Amino acid sequence: MSTIFRLDSSIRTESSVSRAVADTLEASVIEAEGSDTTVIRRDVGLSPVPSDVWATSAFAGFTPEGDRTDEQLAAQAVAAELADEVVAADVLVIATSLYNFGVSQHLKTWIDTVITDPRFAPGTQTVKGKPAFLVLARGGGYGEGTPREGWDHATAYLRRILEDVWGLDLDVIETELTLAEVTPQMAELRDLARQQLAESHEAARTSGRSVTVKLRSAA
């Protein structure tokens, strides 16, 4: 039996591309691993980690244990709960969108809070080598040669945290032009957007099936 940790950070539920592609990926992993697969869900898009938890937990780490306030102890308990979910997983799925050219504030708060737990302090790599997927949705086009090349300030940061800081075995599934269907100025890009979305779902299905191989090689 395997355990998937899935985190969603889109503020949308209906028509969310990151959620839809993550659904395909999750279903594919379950199909490969078996129906007894456990899924741990954390939806920071709909239920954000309170914004003050990160700072409170971070400062608690510099406070002698006996001097910590009730608020600091409570914040550390939240950080430990979030970290427990990641540590318990065999496979991680992080689904997010590009917001205002950067990282979702809800996802960033979750990351910052997890890092206050000693198991995720820089240099620890408690989850090193675990298979993980970053499912990204971007409303526009940010590829080489486009007017907004270099405006995506989220993907490189997330790779740095998940791959380099946490040491995960990361695959990235990216979908662009997700706002073409609802943006009149992007009407001419709709066929390309549909093609990209179809390719992302196929990549999710293929990647999900590959998890079994990764888990067996790590065993």
Predicted structure pTM score: 0.94
Phi, psi of 39 (to 5 degrees): -120, 120
Residue 218, pLDDT score:
66
Report the DSSP beta bridge partners of residue 170: 132
Give the residue extent of every domain in the chain. 3-218
Look at strands 3-8 and 169-175 and give their pairing. unpaired
214 Ramachandran zone, left/alpha/beta (phi>0; psi -120 to 50): alpha
| Residue tagged 């993980």 (tokens) | 132
Q: Which fold has domain 3-218?
A: Rossmann fold (3.40.50)
Neighbours of 173 (CB within 10 A): 24
Task: Read off the tokens for 213.
Answer: 């191989």
Residue type present at position 162: L
Q: Of 158, 136, 110, which Cα lies nearest the Cα of 10?
A: 136
Residue 210, pLDDT score:
87
Residue 57, pLDDT score:
98
Residue 219, pLDDT score:
59
Residue 40, pLDDT score:
98
pLDDT in tens, the chain (219 residues): 799 999 999 999 989 999 999 999 999 999 988 888 999 999 999 999 999 999 999 999 999 999 999 999 999 999 999 999 999 999 999 999 999 999 999 999 999 999 999 999 988 999 999 999 999 999 999 989 999 999 999 999 999 999 999 999 999 999 999 999 999 999 999 999 999 999 999 999 999 988 877 777 765
Residue 192, pLDDT score:
94
E strand or H helix at 87: helix 70-88
Residue 120, pLDDT score:
97
Q: How far apart are CA 25 and CA 15, in angstroms?
A: 17
Report the DSSP beta bridge partners of residue 95: 8, 135
